[in-house]
Structure 1
Amino acid sequence: MDHIYNFSAGPAVLPQEVLQQARDELLDWHGCGMSVMEMSHRGKEFMSIAAKAESDLRELAAIPHNYKVLFLQGGASSQFAMVPMNLLRGKKTADYIHTGQWSQKAINEAKKYCTVNIAASSEDANFTYAPAQDKWQLDSNAAYVHYTPNETIGGVEFNWTPKLTHSNNNIPLVADMSSSMFSRPLDVASFGLIYAGAQKNMGPAGLTIVIIREDLLGMPIPGTPTMFDYKVHADHDSMYNTPPTYALYITGLVFEWLKNLGGLAAIEKRNIAKANLLYDLFDTNDFYHCPVTKSDRSHMNVPFTLKNPALDSEFLKQAQAHGLIQLKGHRSVGGMRASIYNAMPIEGVMKLVAFMKEFASNHA
């Protein structure tokens, strides 16, 4: 089979080196006679895998000692409920920044547990920008502030980290980093809680990573199911129940791959270079259009439309023939979307840009 470049928004492309190592270790991990899929999650073999994955994760993100790392299931969508269940701590309201479909889902779920204050929204421009922090209308009594640093569907990214400065309150910042986690350096200490599904930028579907400051543990709302209590998972080192063992193993290999590349600063440079190839094309060729405000363009998810929408099907057909797949935009917005996560090599983006130039020339 000819090599393809997979621009899926998730589950997404994984590093070739990781897949090759997983293939080589599939039947017998390090001479133990078992596949990782067969191991007891409490056996010494898998415990060593989990410990190394957490150690590498902590090293990559420079996670402070007063933060717990949790390897959970249920996807980031479960976190939409777990966050208010665990972080309200007797308060009645929470602040949310509304920037698209994923923040909307988080808002809808939080409304089941508290009053949601929409502190800022970009709905007035069809979610094509990230609201500046000086426009946020925060509630000084809110339990936390939640935002989505990168909207996977709309391709809007906060290229800055909010700073909360309530003088009399310690209001934690919460972030759904599912589609931007580990794509650039991360100041964990700026956040009370970070969560991310692995299937976009870190590993396969099935694993969700939560990084939570220790002082936020242990105060869930009454009636919170045991499996939805962060402290339970923290107290049991993410082994309260059987974790998604193989997904955790693959994600650990991705962490090793990132370290070998030079860490998050190095991968950020690669990601910027890839994104610039596409955005430079949009800015110099009116055959294609990116709806996102330039300052808020995502380095991970690049949405675009063709000048003539009637050509969409032909574009996708020819792209696939060139080995460029999963470029169709989300059903809710249409058009095209190229997701260029960490594992997408720059050669894939170069091939996409070359095809797009050729297609535009042939259909001008």
Structure 2
Amino acid sequence: MKRPINFKLILLTLAGFGGLAGLMVTAGLGNAQSINLPLQVAPVTVKNVVLQPSYSYSQRVLARVEALQSSAVGFDLSGLVTHVYVDEGSVVKKGDILARLDIERLEASKNEIKSSLARAKAEQRLAELSKNRLSKVVAKGLEPEQVLDEAMVNLDVAKASVAQINAQLLSLNVDIEKSNLVAAFDGTIIQRHLDPGVSVTAGQAVVSIQSDGQLELRASLPINLVNWLQRGDLVDFADNSQSAVLDRFITSQNTQTRTQDAFFRVNSSSWEGRSGQIVNLVVPVSQSANGVWIPVSALSGGIRGMWTVYVTEGDNELNVVPRIVEVVYSDEQRAFVSGALQNGDKLIIEGTQRIVPGQRVRIMEVE
């Protein structure tokens, strides 16, 4: 037995497919209309490209102010420190006594040596008298010449003994003199390392002194600046208050930081720097490279370390064309780039955020 056909169900199904088809057609038309909408003409600012064979920039380096002479000084001898005559901040002159060692034992040894010297001189006089007397006796033939030879040898021995003791006395006087620690140059005491009553070894630091008036700047320079700068080159302070001249390099390189120390002299006798002070120096640098300076804002990200810039082509409403460039040097505001740019190109430097390749633009300003 056949079942009756449900015409209502068929009609409802057909109506549903029809509605779906209508929606798809409508959506397709909408997309087609949005794709076909023309891009708006974007206003931009451009820069006329003029390629340069080199670029210059200023590189800042930190420099520390140092005294031209600075040293930790101590005695050449071991001994007990009895006096320290200076404190931190004391101003001293060359030759001033800074500290003193106990010299009681040295004085006792000196007295002993003086006694030995007096005895040796007496023996020398006796040997001279004997030699003179025997000379007369031998001349008369009363004594053999051998006796005179022995007298002359005894005199030579006595003279040598006197000379040896004199040398000992001189050495002892030097030790007594070295028991006074003396300033080797005019300067200021920057550190006192110990107090009286302390036993020190030879060379142990007692005070540290640095020279006054003569200051220099010490900077650790990267290799590119070491290769660029030459002795006598002039650099400026970052605040333009002073200038300084490169005086010398340390020939060895710091293997950890890959820097090399350089010393600069300030071009002003009235400059009042302080040892340990940090100053900023500005070093002018010039490098050979064919390119152009552009604002950093003109750069768009590229691939494989390269960057993209945009230039305009055509008349009136212009087309935008991308160009690939390499950033050779950059700072916070500008970059020196080289690559697919030519003299006369109109490079977009403002408004790049509003454009895409192929878009038409209108030049509002030329720099």
**What band does the TM-score fall into relative to the shorter chain?**
under 0.3
Higher relative contact order (CA 8 A, sep 6+): 2
- TM-score, normalized by length of structure 1? 0.21
- TM-score, normalized by length of structure 2? 0.21
Larger radius of gyration between Structure 1 and Structure 2: 2
Larger relative helix fraction: 1
